[in-house]
Amino acid sequence: MISILFDIEIELVKDEWRIGKSKLDSFLGNYGIKLNKKLFANKFYMQTQCEVYYSYMGSRFKFTFDDINDEVKYFEFYTKQ
């Protein structure tokens, strides 16, 4: 998801991102990307719904999921939008 959201090559993310060890703002900073902290909250809500649109090879796609009590459920990937 980091690769898609921040347009970083997937192989770089696989090689360098360490779950639980890497801080997102530091990782992105290595690639000249500044994280806008206004997009994030200090408090995590027990239920969140996410809807993400992204472009890939000239087409627009979407995926959605729910995070309920730290468990991701109902992940759906939609075709071209």
Q: Which residue has the tokens 């991701």?
A: 72
Helix (H, G, I), strand (E, B) or coil at 45: coil
Quick: pLDDT tens for 39-77: 666 665 667 788 888 888 888 999 998 887 777 888 898
- What is residue 28's DSSP assignment? H
pLDDT of residue 40: 64
pLDDT of residue 19: 74
Residue 71 Cα to chain centre, angstroms: 16
Length of the chain: 81
For residue 60, what are the CA distances in angstroms to 21, 31, 41, 55, 78?
32, 24, 27, 4, 10
pLDDT of residue 41: 63
